[in-house]
Structures are given as C-alpha cells and as structure tokens.
Amino acid sequence: MKVSAERIPESQVVLEIEVEPERVEKSLDAAYRRLVQRTNVPGFRRGKAPRSMLERHLGRDVLLEEALDRLIPEVYREAVEQEEIEPIELPQVEMVSTEPLVMKATVPVRPTIELGDYQGMWIPRDPVVVLEDRVDEALEGLRHRYATLEPVSRPLGWGDMVRADAVGSVDGRTLFDQKEVEFQLREGVPVFLPGLAEKLVGLEKGAEREIDLALPDDFGDPGLAGKACRCRVLIHEIKEEKLPPLDDDFARQVGEGFASLDALRQRLASDLREAEEQAALDGYRQQIISTLEESARLEYPPILVEREIDRLLREQAGSGGDARNLGRYLRQVGKSEEQLRRELRPAAEQRLRGSLLLSRVAEVENVDVDDVEVDQEVERMASAAGRQAADVRRIFDNPDGRDAIRRSLLTRKTWDRLVSIVSADKSGVAAEGDAQTEQAETEEEDL
C-alpha cells in the first residue's frame, strides 16, 4: 500500500492511498463469499453460484461496493497509523480510481492554537454601579405584578387590560384569530401587529371595529411584507389596573415577605447588583477573548464549525437531538434548516474560537480539576436543590455526569485565571522593569 500525506489549511491532512491489486482481489473474493450466501442466482442453490455468475447477476459494481465497504476503513486506519495522524472526526473520502484502487481521505486533525502574549495583556474593569433609578423601576415592576384589575365602563386607555376577539387577514389568508383573548395596552408594546394598539385606545366595551394596517417591511413572511392587513376587533371587557401603594404593607406581600420597604429596596438593589456584575463579567470576558484572538494564530477544521452549529440548533429548538422537535421549530420560525444554519454560522464560529482559545489557556496554565473538587461541586448543587438533592446526586453519580461537572469547573477555573491575569495592574511591573533598566545603564556608565 502506497500512502502520501499533505498538510492543507484549516487543520486538515489529505491522505492519498493506493491499494495493491492483490489486496483488492482478496477483498472482492471475501465480498463474493458474503453476497453469495444471501443472493438467489437463477439456476443455482443459494451459496453455490460461481463468482462469475454472481457478478453477471448483480453487476461488478455491486461486488466492488461490497468489497470497498470493508476495505476502505481498513486501509484508512492503516494509513493513519503509518503517517502518525490523530484524526478528531471522520474523514471525507473520495475515490480517485478503482483500477488501480486509489482514494483520497481529507482528515480533520487537532486545531492549531498559538497564543499571543496574554500574560502582558491589561484590560481595565469598569466598576459596577446600580443607580437608584433602576431600583425604582424594579419596584414599579413589582407594583404592576401585584396590581388588581377592576372592570370599568369608560373608554379604553393605556395601561388597561382588555378582553376581546381579534381577527387579522391578508388577501383572504388568516394571520391570527383569537377569541376572548386578554392583553394589556402598553405604549410602545405591539399587540398582534405594530400600530394596532394605538387604534384601540378610546374604544368602549361592546365596540367592534375594522382596522386596516400595513404589515411591516421586516414581516416574518416576505411574501406578505408591506401588504394591507384587515383587523376586526370586538371589545368584551375593559379592566383598569390598580397599583398597590408603595409602603411597608406592600413589602410584606412581596415574595417571602420583607419587614419593610427599605428591606425590599435593599434586596432589589442586591439582586440588581448581582445581575449587573454578571452582565459586566460576561462583557469583560468577551472583551478578553476578542483581544486574545487578535494576537493569536488559530486554525481549525471546518467540521468543528458544523458541530457547533448543530449544538446551537439543538439549543434554539430545545430538541435534545429529536428531529421532530427541530422540524416543529423550523416551521414555527418559518425557515429551512439550511437558512438557519447559515444564520447561526457566525455565532458558531465565534463560540468555537473562544472555546479553543480558552482550552489552550487551560493547557498552558496547567489548570486542572481533581476528584475532590468535583465531589464538592456536586454537594454544592445538591444542597441548593433542597428536596431534589438526592435526584441531583443520582444524576451526577456516573462517569458522564462527573465529566460534565469537571468540564464546567475547568472552564470556570480557566476564566478565573485568565481574568486575574489580564485585570492585574501591570503599571507596577512596568515601573520595576524601567528601574532595573535604568540601574543597569548607570552601572554600565560607571564601568
């Protein structure tokens, strides 16, 4: 067997493999013995037809295909071992010729990741500040959540809750048909279609109106974008939102109950700070990865991008690998799988690059997770699960579950290490380096 290997861009190796005719002939004989046992050849008992008659009956292509199904994986494995290649996915195989038997296998191999001087990077972190306005907004949101609704006989206004029938159609095609549907009129929040809510303000209970609206240019169905939609709305009931007063009694009703309005404000401020800190950390990490990528050399096989797109598809569709769920999701968003894959490609490439860079940092920095840390994390999760603690322990009491925890902890520890490196103030190091240089120059002058 003759093998040549050529490294090509995007972390791939092309193997050209030529198989000696004697080995091909042995494979054809073995294929004949398999096929003759399951093929009825006229004039012969099963398993007794000569090879020439079987070839005439089935065609040589069928015999060759049967032989290659076994032969190609064998010679590929041998070629990979001979050339000391470590594939990370299945190859793309192309038959160059059958006589002699020559094949090409494009093999994806491990990505090439060369980090720049991340140790010298410094990215300042902005302090997180929670403004009082944000706390006030959160309190107002709680007031709306705990508000009561009272029927009124006046015309419909902003903030009111409406119970109505609503039908919308374009060129005889029904876009929506809702009976006894309830919705709240909020300024800037569309109801069914942009512009419809504004047309409902001022209507009274029992009013029925036909309203013509132009569908927006970015409407989900391009064939309907910009067309006129006729909406028919019948108002059944109008309810006014009554907000509770903002006092200690209200605070005692919220959630698990708070001793006072001040205690509630403090809890909201704490929750907002935690959310802001997480959002700031996410943004800071993205900034780190972007800066890291600028100075890194990164090369990876295209198949890794496709696998990342697969993961994003499953996450968006919530399919868990179920093709039926994916099909339902595609119908829901009105797109083909090919369209969605094209749209997800940039995000998949960005996520893949970040993951590869972070993995390389973990290797260089010798970040590791031991069994004790995995045990501690499982116990932490179990404690937080309350009554479901036993279920959590059972879920992760297996190699796959523990491996998932280990990967999660490794990512977290690597981020912690990287953040500590790039957020450390380098000015002191620079000043010390300048002082050492100046001292060396002075000593040199003295000499």
- Give the domain CATH number at 70: 3.30.70.1050
Give me the pLDDT at residue 422, please.
Answer: 93
Does residue 436 carry a pLDDT above 50? no
The answer to the question of residue 18 being in a domain is yes
Last residue in a domain, options 242, 273, 292: 242
Res. 325 pLDDT band, cuts 50 70 90:
confident
Does residue 440 carry a pLDDT above 50? no
Per cent of the chain over pLDDT 90 is 67
User: 3-state secondary structure string, the chain?
Assistant: CEEEEEEECCCEEEEEEEECHHHHHHHHHHHHHHHHCCCCCCCCCCCCCCHHHHHHHHCHHHHHHHHHHHHHHHHHHHHHHHCCCCECCCCEEEEEEECCEEEEEEEEECCEEECCCHHHCCCCCCCCCCCHHHHHHHHHHHHHHCCEEEECCCCCCCCCEEEEEEEEEECCEEEEEEEEEEEECCCCCCECECCHHHHHCCCCCCCEEEEEEECCCCCCCCCCCCCEEEEEEEEEEEEEEECCCCCHHHHHHCCCCCCCHHHHHHHHHHHHHHHHHHHHHHHHHHHHHHHHHHHCEEECCHHHHHHHHHHHHHHHHCCCCCHHHHHHHHHHHCCCHHHHHHHHHHHHHHHHHHHHHHHHHHHHCCCCCCHHHHHHHHHHHHHHCHHHHHHHHHHCCCHHHHHHHHHHHHHHHHHHHHHHHHHCCCHHHHHHHHHHHHHHHHHHHHC
How far apart, in whole angstroms, are the C-alpha atoms of residue 53 and residue 30?
16
Give me the pLDDT at residue 318, please.
Answer: 77
Please tell me the pTM assigned to this model. 0.70
Q: Which two tokens stand for residue 406?
A: 């280990």
The answer to the question of residue 291 being in a domain is no
User: Do 25 and 102 sit in the same domain of this protein?
Assistant: yes
Does residue 186 carry a pLDDT above 80? yes
Give me the pLDDT at residue 330, please.
Answer: 83
User: Do 18 and 103 sit in the same domain of this protein?
Assistant: yes
Give me the pLDDT at residue 180, please.
Answer: 93
User: Do 203 and 156 sit in the same domain of this protein?
Assistant: yes
Give me the pLDDT at residue 320, please.
Answer: 57
Res. 321 pLDDT band, cuts 50 70 90:
low
**Average pLDDT value for the chain:** 89
* pLDDT tens-digit readout, 246-269: 999 999 999 888 999 999 999 999
Last residue in a domain, options 242, 270, 291: 242
User: 3-state secondary structure string, 286-335?
Assistant: HHHHHHHHHHCEEECCHHHHHHHHHHHHHHHHCCCCCHHHHHHHHHHHCC
User: Do 160 and 80 sit in the same domain of this protein?
Assistant: no
* pLDDT tens-digit readout, 336-375: 888 899 999 999 999 999 999 999 999 999 999 999 999 9
* pLDDT tens-digit readout, 192-229: 888 999 999 999 999 999 999 998 888 877 788 888 99
Per cent of the chain over pLDDT 70 is 94
How far apart, in whole angstroms, are the C-alpha atoms of residue 361 and residue 414?
7
Give me the pLDDT at residue 337, please.
Answer: 87
The answer to the question of residue 255 being in a domain is no
The answer to the question of residue 259 being in a domain is no
* pLDDT tens-digit readout, 9-34: 999 999 999 999 999 999 999 999 99
Does residue 94 carry a pLDDT above 60? yes
* pLDDT tens-digit readout, 231-248: 999 999 999 999 999 999
The answer to the question of residue 334 being in a domain is no
Give me the pLDDT at residue 231, please.
Answer: 93
* pLDDT tens-digit readout, 56-84: 898 888 999 999 999 999 999 999 999 99
User: Do 106 and 191 sit in the same domain of this protein?
Assistant: no
The answer to the question of residue 96 being in a domain is yes
User: Number of structural domains, the chain?
Assistant: 3
Does residue 429 carry a pLDDT above 70? no
User: Do 7 and 61 sit in the same domain of this protein?
Assistant: yes
* pLDDT tens-digit readout, 153-180: 999 999 999 999 999 999 888 989 999 9
- Is residue 168 left, alpha or beta, with left meaning phi > 0 and alpha meaning psi from -120 to 50? beta
The answer to the question of residue 346 being in a domain is no
User: Do 105 and 162 sit in the same domain of this protein?
Assistant: no
The DSSP bridge partners found for residue 3 are: 17
Handedness of CA 78, 83, 87, 90 (dihedral sign): negative
Does residue 150 carry a pLDDT above 70? yes
Q: Which two tokens stand for residue 234?
A: 């019948």
**What type of residue is 190?**
P
The range of the structural domain enclosing residue 166 comes to 149-242
How far apart, in whole angstroms, are the C-alpha atoms of residue 273 and residue 130?
6
Give me the pLDDT at residue 201, please.
Answer: 93
The answer to the question of residue 257 being in a domain is no
Q: Tokens 């065609």, residue?
A: 59
CATH number at 161 reads 3.10.50.40
Does residue 397 carry a pLDDT above 80? yes
Res. 387 pLDDT band, cuts 50 70 90:
confident
